[in-house]
C-alpha cells in the first residue's frame, strides 16, 4: 500500500514528515478492500469442480440469517477459511461453499411482530450477511451459494419426501404437540414457565393430537452406531451413541386377568432389559398414552385415571423422567398375569413410563430397579428380591434398588431357575417364553422416527393433497414445487396462515379431480440442512436435486466444521438422510462427511448466548473498521482453543494488531534501529554473525514445523503464538549486521507464507512488494506453495 493522500496515516502526517527514520505503517483501510476486489476479479476462489487435482471439500455449517450477524459467526468461519487457504497452498483443489439456512421460526416471529413478510425479512438479512462475510476476506465460492427458502431448493425437499414416501420411508401418524388456542402449535421455547403458558398470549398450553408425517429413520439405528466411516470427536460419538440408546433385552407378553368389568386375556406387551428378574415383578405400569388404558380401566377408577392422564399430558418428557421427583400414578383397577408363574399383579398408570419408548408398558421389579423401587415404596407394594450373592438371599432390600449383577450372583425366589446366574437364567427364561409364544429376545432404541411436520408457514410445504375419496395423495412430481404463497397475512397470531389461505388450500385431487385440500404443514428445517452440501455442487441443476457424478467425486465431505450444539440432532439427521439417499439408489456412500470438527461458541460479554434481544451482540463491522479484518481474524484464532469458545472480550485485540504491525516493520525495514532499544544493532549475547545466522534459520524452520502441525490439528491459538515468537526473535536481530541477509530473507518469506492463511490481506500486500522489489512478476501469495521444513 502506498501512502494515500486522502487518508493520512500516522507516519505521513505533516508533523511526521521530518522524521525520515519512520517506517511506513500498514493501512488496513486501503489495503484490505483492494485485495478483496483483486481476488474477486481474478476468480481466485471459484472452484473448478471438474479439475483433476486432489479434491478437498471443506464445509462449514451454513448460517441462519437471523439479522444479527455477530462476532460469533466470524469465530466459526475465520479458521475454516484459514484451513481452506492452507490446503490450497498444498496444491489441493479446495471447495469452500456457503449458503443460508433461510427457513425457520425467527422470521415468522419477526413477521408477526412487525407485520412484514418473512421472505422480505430473511432476504434483507441475507443481503447484509453476504456483505459482512465478504468483508472478512473469506474465500467462499459465492457461485455455489444455496438459499433454502428459494423454491429451486425446497422443490427438492418435496421431491425427496415423495421418493421416501414411495420407498416406504415416510408415513403419517397421530402425535401430540403443545397447542395454544390462539397461536396454534408452539415450540418448546415458546412455552413458558412451570405454568406452561403461551409466550405470545399467555394462554394455558394444552396437548393436542395431530396427524403428522414421519421419516422412518429408526430403520438405521444399528447402522448409525457404526462410526467406522466417519471421524467424530469423541464427545459427539458418545452423545450420538447415547441418543440412539440401544438396549438389549426381551419383549414379554403378559395377559390381563379377568375381573368384574373385563373378560381378561388381553395381551399386554412389555420390554425389559432384565428378563432374569421376571419372578420379581410385583406390579405393572403402563404409560398414560398407552392404547389399552381406556379399555382396561375399571369403571370405578375411570374418573381418577382420566384426571391423572390429563395432568401427565401437561408435563414435558424431561420433567416426567426426572428421577428425583416423587413418583406418582394411579391403579387402574385391573390385574395382569405373570407368564412365568401365573401370579396376578396389579396394573398402574404412571407418568414415569413413556408411551413412545419400548412398548409403553413395563413389568415393575422394585427390588432391582430404582424407579420401580421408589414407586413401590410410595404405594406400599411388595418388593421381592430375585438376584443375590450367595448367603445374601434373605437380605432385605430397603436401602434402594439392587440392580447391579456380577458373576457370583445367582437367581433366588425364581422357581426352577433359582441357582442359575442372572445371565444364564435370563436366557433360559426368554427361551422358555419364546417356546410358549409369550416372549422373545428383543432390542429397543431410544431413537425415534423423525417427526418432520411443522404447523408453520415459513418452511417447505409438504406435497400432499387430501382427497375425500383417495385420502392422502402425493402431489405429482411434475407439479413441484408446491410454492409458498407470496402474500401472507398472520392476523397477529401464531397460527399457520396457510390454514386460512383459500387459494393455497383448495385444489383438485390429482387422481379424481374432486375438490380437495392441500396439506398445510411444512417441513422441519433439519430437512433442508440434511443435504445442502450436495446441492452446493450444482445449485442451479434443474432436472434433479444433486449432480450424481460430482457427488461421487467430491463427497463424502472431507471436513465439516460447525458448532457443538448440533452434536446429536443435525449431525444425526444428516447421517440418516444420506443413508436414505443410498437406499433410494442415488449413491453408494454411507456417510455424508469423513471428518467433523466442532468449535466452541462465543457468548456475549455477560456469558449468555449472543442475541439481539439480549442486547449482547458484538458487531464485527466496527472492529473491522477499527483494526482491519486481518487483526480480527487473527485475534479470534488467538484468543483460545477453537473448540472451546467462551465469553466475548475484545481485550487483547491491540496485541494482535501490534503483531501485524511488527511483521510489517520486519518485512519493510529490516535495517531500522529502534531508538528505544539500548541493544539495537548489536547481536544478542555477543553472538557471532555465523551463530546469529544459524539461529535465525533454526528459529524459522522450527516455527514452520510447529505451525504446520498446528494448522493440521486446528490449533490456531498456538499457531499464532509461535508466529509471534518468531517475530519477536527476528526483532532482536533487526538493525543488526545479519538483518536483510539471506537467512533473514528466508525467515521473512516463511513468516509471510505461514501467516498468509490466517491474515490474508497484509501478507498479500507484503508479498506483492517483495516480488516487485526483486523485479519478479506478481502472483498471489495464496497460490504459493507451502514451504518445506529444513531442519539442517
The answer to whether the Cα torsion of 452, 454, 457, 458 is positive or negative is: negative
Question: Which of 234, 326, 543, 788 is close enough to bind RNA by CB under 7 A?
Answer: 234
- Helix (H), strand (E) at residue 577: helix 569-583
Q: Which segment (26-34, 447-455, 547-555, 617-625) binds RNA by CB under 7 A?
A: 447-455
Our finding on whether 608 is near RNA (CB under 7 A) is yes
Q: How far is the CB of 652 from RNA (least distance, A)?
A: 4
Q: Which of residues 670-699 bind RNA (CB under 7 A)?
A: 674-680
Question: Which of 17, 42, 167, 187 is close enough to bind RNA by CB under 7 A?
Answer: 187
Q: How far is the CB of 103 from RNA (least distance, A)?
A: 7
Close Cβ partners of 380 (under 8 Å, ≥ 6 residues apart): none
End-to-end CA distance of the chain: 36
Q: Which of residues 371-430 bind RNA (CB under 7 A)?
A: none
Our finding on whether 101 is near RNA (CB under 7 A) is yes
Return the bridge partners of 609, or none: 603
| CA–CA distance, 712 with 642 (Å, rounded to integer) | 13
Q: Which of residues 314-373 bind RNA (CB under 7 A)?
A: 316-318, 321-325
Q: Which segment (35-43, 154-162, 559-567, 579-587) binds RNA by CB under 7 A?
A: 559-567
Contacts 24+ apart (CB under 8 A), 544-553: 544/156, 545/156, 545/159, 545/160, 546/586, 548/586, 548/587, 550/49, 550/50, 551/586, 551/587, 551/589, 552/587, 553/49, 553/55
Q: Which of residues 619-638 bind RNA (CB under 7 A)?
A: 638
Residue 295: which of 363, 347, 253 has the closest Cα? 347
String marking each residue 279-318 x if it binds RNA according to CB under 7 A: -------------------------------------xxx
Provide the edge-to-edge strand list for the sheet that holds 464-467: 471-474, 464-467, 515-518, 506-508
Q: Which of residues 512-541 bind RNA (CB under 7 A)?
A: 524-525, 529
- Beta strand 410-411 with 387-388 is antiparallel
Q: Closer to RNA at the Cβ: 148 or 158? A: 148
Our finding on whether 174 is near RNA (CB under 7 A) is no
Q: Closer to RNA at the Cβ: 382 or 652? A: 652
| CA–CA distance, 285 with 155 (Å, rounded to integer) | 46
Q: Which of residues 60-99 bind RNA (CB under 7 A)?
A: 64
Contact criterion met (CB below 8 Å) for 627 and 602: no
Q: Closer to RNA at the Cβ: 167 or 238? A: 238
Q: How far is the CB of 529 from RNA (least distance, A)?
A: 6
Question: Which of 43, 181, 235, 492 is close enough to bind RNA by CB under 7 A?
Answer: 235
Is residue 198 classed as helix, strand or coil in its secondary structure?
A: strand
Q: Closer to RNA at the Cβ: 346 or 562? A: 562
Question: Which of 188, 503, 540, 774 is close enough to bind RNA by CB under 7 A?
Answer: 188
Write the DSSP assignment of 512-567 as a string of letters.
T--EEEE---EE-HHHHTTSHHHHHTSTT-SS-SS-HHHHHHH-SBSEEEEEGGGT
Q: Closer to RNA at the Cβ: 585 or 675? A: 675
Q: Which segment (283-291, 602-610, 762-770, 773-781) binds RNA by CB under 7 A?
A: 602-610
Q: How far is the CB of 571 from RNA (least distance, A)?
A: 10
| Residue 570 Rama label (left phi>0; alpha psi -120 to 50; beta) | alpha
| CA–CA distance, 557 with 571 (Å, rounded to integer) | 13
Q: What angle do CA 775, 776, 779 make, to 5 degrees?
A: 145
Q: Which of residues 2-31 bind RNA (CB under 7 A)?
A: 10, 15
Phi, psi of 61, rounded to the nearest 5 degrees: -55, 125
String marking each residue 708-747 x if it binds RNA according to CB under 7 A: -------x-xx-xx--xx--x--xx---------------
Q: Closer to RNA at the Cβ: 324 or 486? A: 324
Q: How far is the CB of 728 from RNA (least distance, A)?
A: 5
Q: Which segment (43-51, 69-77, 294-302, 562-570) binds RNA by CB under 7 A?
A: 562-570
Residue 88: which of 41, 137, 54, 60 has the closest Cα? 54
Our finding on whether 200 is near RNA (CB under 7 A) is no
Contact criterion met (CB below 8 Å) for 257 and 346: no
HSE (CB half, 13 Å, CA atoms) of 644? 13
Question: Which of 28, 200, 384, 566 is close enough to bind RNA by CB under 7 A?
Answer: 566
Residue 441 CB-density burial (10 A; 0-12 exposed, 13-18 middle, 19+ buried): middle
Q: How far is the CB of 654 from RNA (least distance, A)?
A: 5
| CA–CA distance, 76 with 86 (Å, rounded to integer) | 16
Q: How far is the CB of 413 from RNA (least distance, A)?
A: 29
Q: How far is the CB of 508 from RNA (least distance, A)?
A: 27
| CA–CA distance, 640 with 600 (Å, rounded to integer) | 10
Q: Closer to RNA at the Cβ: 55 or 451? A: 451
Q: Which of residues 127-146 bind RNA (CB under 7 A)?
A: none
**Nine-digit cell string for 274:** 432384565
Q: Which segment (116-124, 163-171, 379-387, 449-457) binds RNA by CB under 7 A?
A: 449-457
Q: How far is the CB of 241 from RNA (least distance, A)?
A: 8
Our finding on whether 460 is near RNA (CB under 7 A) is no
Q: Closer to RNA at the Cβ: 448 or 769? A: 448
Q: Closer to RNA at the Cβ: 219 or 446? A: 446
Q: Closer to RNA at the Cβ: 142 or 672? A: 672
Q: Closer to RNA at the Cβ: 21 or 398? A: 21
Our finding on whether 455 is near RNA (CB under 7 A) is yes
Helix 653-668 crosses helix 620-627 at what angle (to 10 degrees)? 30
Question: Which of 201, 658, 688, 742 is close enough to bind RNA by CB under 7 A?
Answer: 658
- Helix (H), strand (E) at residue 272: strand 267-272
Provide the edge-to-edge strand list for the sheet that holds 55-60: 93-95, 55-60, 559-563, 596-599
**Nine-digit cell string for 505:** 388450500
String marking each residue 243-282 x if it binds RNA according to CB under 7 A: x---------------------------------------
Our finding on whether 599 is near RNA (CB under 7 A) is no
Residue 609 gets which letter from DSSP? B
Q: How far is the CB of 487 from RNA (least distance, A)?
A: 21
Question: Which of 33, 151, 264, 641 is close enough to bind RNA by CB under 7 A?
Answer: 641
Our finding on whether 601 is near RNA (CB under 7 A) is yes
Residue 635 CB-density burial (10 A; 0-12 exposed, 13-18 middle, 19+ buried): buried
Q: Closer to RNA at the Cβ: 223 or 549? A: 223
Tell me the number of residues near RNA by CB under 7 A. Answer: 89
Question: Which of 402, 450, 531, 534 is close enough to bind RNA by CB under 7 A?
Answer: 450
Contact criterion met (CB below 8 Å) for 27 and 4: yes
Return the bridge partners of 95, or none: 57
Q: Which segment (263-271, 293-301, 333-341, 560-568) binds RNA by CB under 7 A?
A: 560-568
Q: Closer to RNA at the Cβ: 10 or 344? A: 10
Amino acid at each position: 500500500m502506498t501512502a494515500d493522500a486522502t487518508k493520512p496515516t500516522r507516519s505521513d502526517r505533516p508533523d511526521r514528515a521530518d522524521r525520515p527514520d519512520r517506517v511506513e505503517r500498514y493501512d488496513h483501510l486501503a489495503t484490505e478492500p483492494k485485495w478483496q476486489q483483486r481476488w474477486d476479479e481474478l476468480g481466485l476462489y471459484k472452484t473448478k469442480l471438474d479439475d483433476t487435482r486432489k479434491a478437498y471439500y471443506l464445509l462449514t455449517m451454513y448460517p441462519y440469517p437471523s439479522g444479527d450477524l455477530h462476532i460469533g459467526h466470524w469465530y466459526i468461519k475465520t479458521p475454516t477459511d484459514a484451513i481452506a487457504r492452507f490446503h490450497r497452498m498444498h496444491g489441493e483443489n479446495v471447495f469452500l461453499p456457503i449458503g443460508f439456512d433461510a427457513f425457520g421460526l425467527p422470521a415468522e416471529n419477526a413477521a408477526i411482530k412487525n407485520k412484514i413478510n418473512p421472505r422480505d425479512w430473511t432476504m434483507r438479512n441475507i443481503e447484509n450477511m453476504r456483505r459482512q462475510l465478504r468483508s472478512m476476506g473469506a474465500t467462499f465460492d459465492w457461485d455455489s451459494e444455496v438459499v433454502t427458502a428459494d423454491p429451486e431448493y425446497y422443490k427438492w425437499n418435496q421431491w425427496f419426501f415423495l421418493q421416501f414416501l414411495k420407498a416406504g420411508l415416510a408415513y403419517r401418524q397421530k402425535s401430540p404437540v403443545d397447542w395454544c388456542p390462539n397461536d396454534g402449535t408452539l415450540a418448546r421455547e415458546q412455552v413458558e414457565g412451570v405454568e406452561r403458558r403461551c409466550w405470545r398470549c399467555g394462554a394455558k398450553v394444552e396437548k393436542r393430537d395431530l396427524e403428522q408425517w414421519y421419516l422412518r429413520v429408526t430403520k438405521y439405528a444399528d447402522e448409525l452406531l457404526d462410526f467406522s466411516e466417519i471421524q467424530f470427536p469423541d464427545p459427539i460419538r458418545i452423545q450420538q451413541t447415547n441418543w440412539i440408546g440401544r438396549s438389549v433385552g426381551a419383549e414379554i407378553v403378559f395377559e390381563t386377568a379377568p375381573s368384574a368389568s373385563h373378560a381378561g386375556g388381553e395381551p399386554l406387551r412389555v420390554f425389559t432389559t432384565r428378563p432374569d428378574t421376571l419372578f420379581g415383578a410385583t406390579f405393572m405400569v403402563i404409560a398414560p398414552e398407552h392404547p389399552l388404558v381406556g379399555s382396561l380401566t375399571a369403571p370405578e377408577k375411570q374418573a381418577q385415571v382420566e384426571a391423572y392422564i390429563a395432568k401427565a399430558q401437561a408435563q414435558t418428557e424431561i420433567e416426567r423422567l426426572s428421577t428425583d421427583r416423587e413418583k406418582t400414578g394411579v391403579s387402574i383397577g385391573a390385574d395382569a398375569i405373570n407368564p412365568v408363574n401365573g401370579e396376578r399383579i396389579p396394573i398402574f398408570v404412571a407418568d414415569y413410563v413413556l408411551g413412545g419408548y419400548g412398548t409403553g408398558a413395563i413389568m415393575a421389579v422394585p427390588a432391582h430397579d430404582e424407579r420401580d423401587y421408589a414407586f413401590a415404596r410410595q404405594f406400599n407394594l411388595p418388593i421381592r428380591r430375585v438376584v443375590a450373592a450367595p448367603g445374601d438371599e434373605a437380605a432385605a432390600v430397603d436401602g434402594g434398588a439392587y440392580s447391579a449383577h456380577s458373576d457370583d450372583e445367582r437367581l433366588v425366589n425364581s422357581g426352577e431357575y433359582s441357582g442359575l446366574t442372572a445371565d444364564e437364567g435370563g436366557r433360559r427364561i426368554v427361551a422358555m417364553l419364546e417356546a410358549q409364544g409369550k416372549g422373545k429376545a428383543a432390542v429397543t432404541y431410544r431413537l425415534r422416527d423423525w417427526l418432520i411436520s411443522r404447523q408453520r408457514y415459513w418452511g417447505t410445504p409438504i406435497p400432499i393433497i387430501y382427497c375425500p375419496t383417495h385420502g392422502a395423495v402425493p402431489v405429482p412430481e411434475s407439479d413441484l414445487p408446491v410454492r409458498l404463497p407470496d402474500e401472507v397475512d398472520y392476523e397477529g397470531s401464531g397460527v399457520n396462515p396457510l390454514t386460512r389461505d383459500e387459494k393455497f388450500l383448495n385444489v383438485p385431487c390429482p387422481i379424481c379431480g374432486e375438490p380437495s385440500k392441500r396439506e398445510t404443514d411444512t417441513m422441519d428445517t433439519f430437512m433442508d440442512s440434511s443435504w445442502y452440501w450436495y446441492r452446493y455442487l450444482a445449485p442451479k441443476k434443474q432436472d434433479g436435486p444433486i449432480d450424481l457424478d460430482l457427488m461421487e467425486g467430491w463427497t463424502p465431505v472431507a471436513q465439516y466444521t460447525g458448532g457443538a450444539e448440533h452434536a446429536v440432532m443435525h449431525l444425526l439427521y444428516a447421517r440418516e438422510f444420506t443413508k436414505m439417499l443410498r437406499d433410494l439408489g442415488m449413491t453408494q456412500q454411507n456417510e455424508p462427511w469423513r471428518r467433523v470438527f466442532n468449535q466452541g461458541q462465543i457468548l456475549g460479554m455477560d456469558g449468555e448466548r449472543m442475541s439481539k434481544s439480549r442486547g449482547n451482540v458484538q458487531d464485527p463491522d466496527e472492529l473491522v473498521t477499527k483494526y482491519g479484518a486481518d487483526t480480527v481474524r487473527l485475534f479470534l484464532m488467538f484468543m483460545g482453543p477453537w473448540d472451546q469458545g467462551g465469553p466475548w472480550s475484545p481485550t487483547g485485540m491491540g496485541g494482535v494488531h501490534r503483531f501485524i504491525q511488527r511483521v510489517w516493520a520486519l518485512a519493510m525495514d529490516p535495517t531500522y534501529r529502534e531508538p528505544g532499544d539500548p541493544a539495537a544493532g548489536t547481536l544478542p549475547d555477543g553472538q557471532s554473525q555465523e551463530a546469529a545466522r544459524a539461529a535465525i534459520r533454526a528459529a524459522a524452520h522450527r516455527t514452520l514445523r510447529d505451525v504446520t502441525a498446528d494448522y493440521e490439528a486446528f490449533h490456531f491459538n498456538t499457531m499464532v503464538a509461535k508466529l509471534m515468537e518468531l517475530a519477536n526473535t527476528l526483532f532482536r536481530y533487526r538493525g543488526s549486521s545479519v538483518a536483510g541477509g539471506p537467512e533473514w530473507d528466508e525467515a521473512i518469506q516463511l513468516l509471510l507464507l505461514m501467516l498468509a492463511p490466517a491474515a490474508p490481506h497484509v501478507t498479500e500486500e507484503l508479498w506483492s512488494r517483495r516480488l516487485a522489489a526483486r523485479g519478479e512478476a506478481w502472483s498471489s501469495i495464496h497460490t504459493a506453495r507451502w514451504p518445506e521444513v529444513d531442519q539442517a
